């Protein structure tokens, strides 16, 4: 093995290029605290700088450019292009990092070629999309946020890092922190929901889980804050589409999770596909240099998304790939993913004076620093250990943690007449029906690229069989498909998965499936449905114009409804669906998202009452697509509609629909329990709050039900008048608390003026004196309101 890289020289000064002008039409805004972030990595900076100074001095321009390139292997397909020469490029020092290529058998030989065949032996970083688990798959990301449990998010990322690093992966493209309001967009499944406060807390918890407190530890990995920024507001809910975002929206709703991840020491950033007010994010110096580097003090490196540099051309922002490489690199994109624009054109751009070698040195230094922090220069093979892979992956402990996360993430949307939990003393048989009741393939959801879809996941049927044994008979029938009748074959290139709707061969087969389901249901006391979307119907490149349950599921449920038996729906999907029909016709609805490898066991725990549902919605569920975008923290209108006004004539010329209520089907923060939580009177410590004081908000909560359970007590505020219009509600805190049967607890929150700060009319950050409301309750639409005054 080569050890050329271990020699150390004295540290040299790092020269950073002078900042260029901001993108046209964009204003550099202050951020809360106006203080540059400081990374939390445990660096011996003098030693690291001396080593990298020595290495940079030895590198040719070609070798430096090689460090700026990221190529994809072939173990997963996460984009439309793969350059199959990547293994030889690694050996030639033309590639600095590889993703979609892992395990000892695949990644170790690649690292060996980098270290032993390239001239300087610089190790590569091995990356992969470790989104919600590596091989032990946790609930889909949006579902995990539905737990409203920071420890669930942190532990899920920690387990993922432990397993992934055992398989040779040291860098993940997560967490995704795009704020979302349109469930048609498939990537809501990977997002942290619609609320900036909840998203910020969960994103930071995930960074902490992935990276731990030491990036050099072999069971932690570098995380990536993505997508920077605005991708979640893609117009029409169509993936990769354009965005148009005001300064107030950008800084109030989109930026905070990213700033918080910088403060938490996130290792890398990823650019977003979208343009932002006419400037593609991958070519925005304003975002990547002025804000991220100069204002926030980010010390890691920036990687583009898949071929995003090349896409500056169809955006109409670059003439060709060479021009795109010039724009993106000078904007602050240090590493080019897959597209080869830097590989093909960077040397010419330097020779032509369009890119400075000094700036290349700076970007290369950032990448080499991350390799140093990961311990790769000390031991390039430290993440390749066959025994550890056998010991640390898919352990019983990991599977149990995934089961717990799935229980805590599931949301009980409806439960009329205490249909759940199932009363095992009074029922002798269950009809288990639906296309997702026994589908291993769908349990782990999308962006679970290393997960086993064929044998490992536990389905709802398997979970119930394991829990019930012979005590309750289960009559199973698939009954329907989630494909449409004309879709005899559905194909997805996303993460290399091909799915075929084999049971759909026209109306005779469809009728036969429904008949089989009805016959099974006739034998049972209660009907439990496994319904929803096939896993590829959400995720990247999976936008939908209709978000009702697809295929023949509605027809199946209509026939079963005629039997007059209790019907319980367990919904599997990666987005908020239009469940209006299901809400009207089912007795209970449990939304399980895609619950992961241990999902079937978790669902059984919930259905039979071994665990009480405690999840709350992180995203509003609309009544129909016509309401989209719909979200809880909207601005008010000059003509607000009051549905409770008995004189509806007065409400005619107000902001409303003729054919639908304004309200959602299920509001942000909604989620029921088998416990029965009673809220006492909300109390304030004072009717005034000073700019340097504190206001205590308290409420007594009592569990009046027959079951113990966890409740998420939510705190919201509203500023009644501001220098700019303010949202009707803003989440400012929550507590997830367990209550035994009959137990009462006093829950206390503390508010300060900083909690009420916002970007004012002049884009300065701070609070404004005036009247406020504080709201406490079990969901955003079920709160008590009290007023207080913020005074100078």
Per the structure block, which two tokens stand in for 428? 């002798």
Residues 6 or more apart from 467 whose CB is under 8 A from it? 601, 604, 605, 608, 610
DSSP 639: S
**CB count in 10 Å sphere of residue 740:** 11
Reference 593, options 609, 624, 570, 626; nearest CA is 570
User: If you write DSSP's letter for every residue of 450-503 in order, what string do you get?
Assistant: TS-SSSSPPPHHHHHHHHHTTSSEEEEE----SS-TT-S-----GGG-----TT
Three-state SS across 497-537? CCCCCCCCCCHHHHHHHHHHHHHHHHCCCEEEEEEECCHHH
Residues 6 or more apart in contact with residue 686 via CB below 8 angstroms? 695, 788
Report residue 534 as tokens.
């096939």
Q: Is 438 a catalytic residue?
A: no
Residues with Cβ within 8 Å of residue 570, at least 6 apart in sequence: 436, 437, 460, 528, 529, 530, 531, 589, 590, 592, 603, 607
Rounded Cα distance, 417 and 399, in Å: 33
| Residue ranges in 167-277 assigned as alpha helix (H) | 196-211, 247-249, 256-263
What is the C-alpha to C-alpha distance for residues 149 and 219, in angstroms, rounded to an integer?
Answer: 23
Residue 142 token pair: 């949006």
Count CB atoms within 10 A of the CB of residue 585.
14
Distance CA 410, CA 601 (A): 12
Q: Which of 305, 334, 336, 392 is catalytic?
A: 305
Whether 339 and 293 have beta carbons less than 8 Å apart is answered as no
Structure tokens at 224: 């990536």
Counting beta carbons within 10 angstroms of the beta carbon of residue 489, is it exposed (0 to 12), middle (13 to 18) or buried (19 or more)? exposed
Catalytic residue numbers?
Answer: 305
């Amino acid at each position: 093995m080569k050890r050329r890289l271990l020699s150390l020289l004295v540290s040299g000064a790092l020269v950073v290029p002078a900042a260029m002008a901001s993108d046209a039409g964009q204003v550099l805004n202050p951020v809360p605290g106006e203080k540059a972030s400081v990374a939390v990595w445990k660096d011996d900076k003098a030693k690291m700088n001396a080593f990298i100074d020595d290495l940079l001095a030895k590198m040719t321009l070609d070798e430096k450019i090689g460090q700026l390139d990221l190529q994809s292997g072939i173990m997963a397909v996460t984009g439309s292009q793969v350059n199959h020469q990547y293994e030889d490029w690694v050996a030639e020092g033309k590639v600095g990092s590889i993703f979609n290529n892992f395990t000892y058998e695949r990644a170790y030989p690649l690292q060996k070629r980098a270290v032993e065949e390239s001239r300087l032996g610089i190790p590569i970083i091995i990356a992969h999309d470790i989104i919600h688990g590596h091989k032990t798959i946790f609930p889909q990301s949006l579902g995990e946020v539905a737990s409203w449990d920071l420890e669930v998010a942190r532990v899920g990322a920690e387990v993922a890092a432990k397993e992934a690093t055992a398989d040779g992966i040291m860098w993940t493209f997560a967490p995704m922190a795009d704020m979302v309001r349109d469930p048609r967009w498939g990537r809501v499944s990977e997002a942290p929901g619609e609320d900036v406060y909840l998203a910020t807390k969960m994103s930071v918890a995930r960074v902490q889980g992935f990276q731990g407190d030491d990036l050099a530890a072999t069971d932690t990995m570098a995380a990536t804050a993505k997508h920077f920024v605005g991708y979640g507001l893609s117009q029409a809910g169509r993936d990769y589409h354009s965005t148009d975002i005001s300064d107030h929206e950008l800084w109030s709703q989109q930026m905070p999770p990213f700033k918080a991840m910088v403060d938490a020491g996130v290792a890398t950033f990823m650019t977003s596909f979208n343009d932002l007010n006419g400037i593609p994010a991958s070519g925005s110096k304003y975002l990547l240099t002025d804000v991220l580097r100069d204002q926030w003090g980010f010390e890691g490196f920036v990687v583009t998304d898949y071929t995003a540099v090349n896409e500056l051309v169809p955006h109409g922002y670059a003439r060709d790939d060479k021009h795109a490489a010039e724009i993106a690199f000078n904007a602050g994109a240090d590493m080019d993913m897959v597209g080869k624009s830097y590989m093909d054109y960077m040397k010419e751009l330097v020779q032509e004076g369009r890119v400075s070698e000094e700036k290349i040195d700076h970007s290369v230094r950032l990448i080499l620093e991350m390799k140093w922090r990961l311990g790769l220069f000390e031991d390039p093979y430290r993440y390749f250990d066959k025994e550890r892979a056998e010991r640390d992956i898919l352990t019983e402990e990991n599977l149990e943690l995934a089961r717990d996360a799935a229980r805590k993430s599931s949301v009980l949307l409806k439960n009329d007449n205490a249909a759940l939990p199932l009363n095992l003393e009074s029922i002798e048989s269950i009809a288990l029906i639906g296309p997702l009741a026994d589908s291993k393939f769908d349990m782990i959801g999308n962006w679970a690229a290393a997960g086993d879809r064929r044998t490992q996941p536990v389905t709802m049927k398997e979970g119930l069989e394991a829990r019930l044994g012979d005590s309750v008979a289960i009559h199973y029938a698939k009954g329907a498909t989630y494909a449409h009748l004309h879709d005899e074959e559905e194909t997805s290139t996303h993460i290399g998965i091909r799915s075929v709707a084999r049971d759909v061969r026209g109306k005779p087969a469809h009728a036969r499936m429904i008949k089989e389901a009805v016959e099974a249901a006739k034998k049972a006391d209660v009907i439990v449905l496994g319904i929803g979307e096939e896993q590829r119907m959400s995720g990247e490149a999976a936008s939908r114009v209709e978000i009702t349950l697809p295929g023949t599921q509605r027809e199946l449920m209509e026939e079963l409804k005629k039997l007059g038996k209790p019907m319980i729906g367990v919904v599997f999907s990666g987005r908020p669906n239009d469940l209006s029909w299901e809400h009207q016709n089912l007795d209970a609805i449990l939304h399980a998202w895609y619950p992961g490898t241990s999902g079937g066991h978790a669902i059984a725990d919930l259905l039979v009452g071994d665990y009480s549902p405690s999840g709350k919605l992180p995203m509003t569920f609309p009544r129909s697509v016509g309401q989209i975008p719909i979200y809880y923290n909207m601005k008010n209108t000059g003509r607000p509609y009051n549905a409770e006004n008995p004189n509806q004539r007065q409400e005619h010329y107000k902001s409303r629909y003729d054919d639908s209520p304004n309200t959602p089907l299920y509001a942000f923060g909604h989620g029921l329990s088998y416990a029965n939580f009673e809220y006492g009177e909300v109390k304030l410590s004072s009717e005034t709050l000073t700019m340097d004081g504190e206001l205590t908000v308290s409420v007594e909560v009592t569990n009046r039900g027959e079951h113990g359970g966890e409740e998420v007590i939510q705190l919201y505020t509203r500023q009644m008048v501001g220098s700019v219009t303010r949202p009707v509600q803003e989440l400012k805190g929550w507590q997830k608390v367990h209550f035994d049967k009959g137990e009462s607890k006093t829950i206390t929150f503390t508010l300060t003026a900083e909690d009420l700060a916002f970007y004012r009319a002049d884009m300065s950050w701070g609070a404004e004196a005036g009247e406020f409301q504080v709201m406490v309750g079990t969901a955003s639409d079920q709160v008590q309101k009290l007023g207080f005054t913020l005074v100078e």
